[in-house]
Structure 1
Amino acid sequence: MKKFSLNTSALLLVLLFSIQINAQVTERQKPEEWNRLVKGGRFLDRFMPISPLGKLTTETWGAEGVIPRYTDNGIEDPDWSYWGGNILKGDDGKFHLFVCRWPENSPKGHMEWPKSEVVHAVADNTMGPFKVQSVIGKGHNPEAYRMKDGRYIIYVIDGYYLAESIDGPWKAGKFEFNPRDREIIEGLSNLSFVQREDGSFVMVCRGGGIWLSKDGLSPWQQVTSKRVYPDVDGRFEDPVIWRDNVQYNLIVNDWLGRIAFYLRSKDGVHWKVDPGEAYIPGITVYTDGTNEDWFKYERIKIFQDEYRRAVQANFAVIDTIKWDDKTNDRHSSKNIGIPLNKGVLMTILDEEKIDDNTKTIRVKIEAEPSFNPLTDIDVNSLHFGAPEVVNFGGGCTVSGTEPDGNDLIVTFKGSNNGFRDDSFAAKLLGKDKNGKLLLGYARLPWVEYIEPILSARLPVLNANGNLEVEVENFGQIASKNASLKIELVNEQETIEIASAKIPGLNPFEKTKISMKCSKIPSEDAQLKVSITYNRKMMESLTGTLRID
């Protein structure tokens, strides 16, 4: 009987452990087409080996897979568990990491994270080691950014801290959010922010909704009605958004499948999903062969160079399942940095639109202090065109080259370029003379990158029996006249009941359009609002009629 009891207890422990594993890990089936991606076809290929930092040591906490390691990478401390955080370069030339932490001896172990505090740490370089300079206040999953007027904001779940200086003092506050008749997907947490060219901001929330603010502090307005993430059964969190010299970029993590996805956008609102993994476990590799096998990588943040290229990714990493990180044990978490292949600077010299009839395409690849395109490139390895074809080894091949000072002009054959009406970036893949990955993106000269973004709320039926619709321009430039249409949606058919012209609107200007309707809808009617601009459908929103 005693033996049976012991075996039963052991079985229960195994089952409990399996439940914990299954609660945090599952095997996702990857699309078959991912097997055909070439080197550089997925964001994962951009992670580079890390130069050793400080001393390689075994005298530290951690599971077997992360010992020995370079503890000077990022920030870690045996007395604290660190999580999240991003780096800003200060006017002092130093690098400032805003990260959260909680005591390693907390009774709940890793599950103490709801009581975490945000700290300001500083280093002389982006890789660390970072040393804590001050405690800012309570908060979790911070992301810091600088507004156009020079002030700093540190976002935390359910609030923010604001300061005139990167060194504080910091004042706590709360954002205002206006969903604008759109469903808030999975709540407002784990937000990520990027500044647009005019100083306004785009934000993506955990659930994949896109929000805009005039300055990064004023109320956030939701402009999407569904998530922009891949249409797969993922458990998404930890989005990060950034804008480089060509396009907007977004990475989101499927925490259950431990696979992240990479997306690109022309305007930060409308997104394309690129194939392949953005990152997976196993990417912490050093140039001396040291490999740190962290169990989970979360809270990715991107550090950019003076050209806004992504040059480093920072992660919150943990050496085991979160539930197994107990108080005063050998497990914990930290923030680490991993360098990224930043890509080359390149420009398409042809101004005409590239299509299936284009004979040649001229591209200039720029020289940089550590890169000589005249001597460093394996020219015959290059292929160029739309990312959708280049990622799979297709695209245009080289027909000739010529120097342009220190830069290199490459002429590609125009066939197989892959560009379509919805293309907004070109991609280059190849190798340097040492066989290392060479990549780059370029803008398409014929594409308008800054356009009006007109967005409507749901119609309101006023006391006079007219429909009123609020329309706002969330773009960075003024709009011209546009068309508004309202349709009554039921199971049998869709009937147009009202239409009107939308006058030109300046950025963040809004107007109310009043329309007589051919059929007064019932109180619970489903209405579809559509905006057409320059003969293209800009937006449609479906929802229940609102009564004034």
Structure 2
Amino acid sequence: MNKNISLIVLLAIFSISTLKAQTSQSTKVLSKEKTTKMPLSHMAQTAKLIGPAISDPNWYNWCVSPIKGKDGKIHIFGSRWPAKEQMDGWMGKNAEIAHFVSDKPEGPFKYVSTVLKSSDFPHPDKMWAPHNPRIEYVDGKYILLYIFQTQKDKALMYTGMMIADDINGPWRFAGKNDGLMVENSKDPKHWTYGGVIGTDNPAFMKIGKKYYIYFKSGMPTQRTAKYGYAVADNLEGPYTLSDHPITDNIDYIEDAMAFKVKNEYFLLTTDNYGTNSGTFGNIILWKSKTGLDFKLADAKVGMRTILDYWGTPEDHKKLLQNEKHFEYSSSGKLERPAVLLIDGIPAYFYASAGLNVSGGENAETYVFKIDWANGN
């Protein structure tokens, strides 16, 4: 009897110790001292890395946009290019947007088809390298936003749209201008005039009866870029540019995804240099009551870097010492953030990362389980 009681006590102590260890393990990196100008969201504090969503030794996989289809499966539209071209391949003629599918949000995701490549454009001499896809379902149709290159001597990009009745296609270019939806204003007084990077990194939302394409533009340097929107009465345009930016970022942001939860509107963007949020490589979660005005005062850290959710400091050290691993940013900065909404609530987070934490030589995209808690 005494032996049994002793065993029970020991098991209880072991269980408590294990629980403490697990709790410490899940929060250990987020408890590191890091300077932040804005509070951490519940999502950032509790997110759990599941692993790679898309990984292929023959391709660099970067942008990622998930959606739950009518078939109940999870579909991802992502940008990719041949691995032999390394990171700069995203601007080349071999870059493409591909369709992947999985039975569940965690993956694994399998390649289905290539949706858009340079040779598909009506004018491939001035439209190439489709990139930065955003997939949405609106008015009974699937729309795919993307950017494309327009000049060979610099990164100047415009925003286009494809549309389909079925998520598996066929896809067609939307509107009356070969899919082109958003480009810089030709008015010298407009805030997008002469934008050094064009109009890129699109997001989409329908608010009321109007359609909004969010885009990034900026002068005189890329780091001054802010988000604005183009609005239309019809899904396929024509779209009219906003008179002013709608974000008050003090330094460069990009990669927006727009979504609505209940009666609030949200943007996810990167904080490329950390000057908006206080830490290099944070993801910013912007909140708005209208969807047309987003302030840093109302924003939170949406996610941190992948190293904040993966491994121990010793693991990080070993990874960085591995000469063959893909490394675009040793910080592990996440890019191209996206959430998957299940029954109207963000349930999973997807992004590319500046590090391949699997140790592979190519870029891969990752999936995290998140707890939304109203974005707080």
| Alpha carbons 1:175, 1:219 under 8 Å: kept | no
Match of 1:127 among 106, 111, 115: 106
Quote the Cα distance in structure 2 between the aligned partners of 1:96 and 1:276.
28
RMSD between superposed Cα atoms in Å: 3.0
Match of 1:264 among 256, 271, 287: 287
Corresponding residue for residue 388 of structure 1: none
Corresponding residue for residue 138 of structure 2: 147
Is the aligned partner of 1:87 residue 2:66? yes
Q: Measured at CA, do residues 440 and 298 of structure 1 come closer, stay the same or move farther in structure 2, by a change above 3 Å?
A: closer
Provide the secondary structure at the position in 1 that maps to 2:212: strand
Quote the Cα distance in structure 2 between the aligned partners of 1:50 and 1:254.
20
CA-CA distance at 1:30 after TM superposition: 4.2
CA-CA distance at 1:268 after TM superposition: 0.9
Corresponding residue for residue 462 of structure 1: none
Is the aligned partner of 1:196 residue 2:207? yes
Corresponding residue for residue 309 of structure 1: 345
Corresponding residue for residue 259 of structure 2: 242
Quote the Cα distance in structure 1 between the aligned partners of 2:248 and 2:303.
16
Provide the secondary structure at the position in 2 that maps to 1:243: strand
Corresponding residue for residue 75 of structure 1: 54
Within 5 Å, which residues of 2 pair with 1:462-541? none
Is the aligned partner of 1:160 residue 2:175? no
AA of the residue aligned to 2:90: W
CA-CA distance at 1:212 after TM superposition: 1.7
| Alpha carbons 1:182, 1:222 under 8 Å: kept | no
Q: Measured at CA, do residues 50 and 85 of structure 1 come closer, stay the same or move farther in structure 2, by a change above 3 Å?
A: closer
Is the aligned partner of 1:113 residue 2:90? yes
Q: Measured at CA, do residues 242 and 275 of structure 1 come closer, stay the same or move farther in structure 2, by a change above 3 Å?
A: closer
Corresponding residue for residue 235 of structure 2: 216
CA-CA distance at 1:227 after TM superposition: 4.3
CA-CA distance at 1:79 after TM superposition: 1.0
214-223 or 240-249, which deviates more: 214-223
Provide the secondary structure at the position in 2 that maps to 1:142: strand
Corresponding residue for residue 469 of structure 1: none
CA-CA distance at 1:259 after TM superposition: 2.7
Q: Measured at CA, do residues 295 and 217 of structure 1 come closer, stay the same or move farther in structure 2, by a change above 3 Å?
A: same
Q: Measured at CA, do residues 164 and 272 of structure 1 come closer, stay the same or move farther in structure 2, by a change above 3 Å?
A: same
Quote the Cα distance in structure 1 between the aligned partners of 2:49 and 2:265.
26
| Alpha carbons 1:191, 1:239 under 8 Å: kept | yes
| Alpha carbons 2:284, 2:300 under 8 Å: kept | yes
Q: Which runs of 5+ in 1 are unaligned?
A: 1-27, 52-69, 321-328, 344-438, 442-548
TM-score, normalised relative to structure 2? 0.65
The share of aligned pairs that are identical, in percent, is 22
Q: Measured at CA, do residues 189 and 47 of structure 1 come closer, stay the same or move farther in structure 2, by a change above 3 Å?
A: farther
AA of the residue aligned to 2:168: D
CA-CA distance at 1:335 after TM superposition: 1.5
| Alpha carbons 1:43, 1:277 under 8 Å: kept | no
Quote the Cα distance in structure 1 between the aligned partners of 2:234 and 2:42.
30
Is the aligned partner of 1:339 residue 2:369? yes
CA-CA distance at 1:169 after TM superposition: 1.3
Quote the Cα distance in structure 2 between the aligned partners of 1:168 and 1:235.
35
Q: Measured at CA, do residues 176 and 102 of structure 1 come closer, stay the same or move farther in structure 2, by a change above 3 Å?
A: closer
Q: How many residues align?
A: 275
CA-CA distance at 1:29 after TM superposition: 6.7
CA-CA distance at 1:197 after TM superposition: 4.3
AA of the residue aligned to 2:191: E
AA of the residue aligned to 1:333: A
Quote the Cα distance in structure 2 between the aligned partners of 1:47 and 1:240.
20
Corresponding residue for residue 49 of structure 1: 48
| Alpha carbons 1:83, 1:99 under 8 Å: kept | yes
Quote the Cα distance in structure 1 between the aligned partners of 2:302 and 2:137.
26
Provide the secondary structure at the position in 2 that maps to 1:105: helix
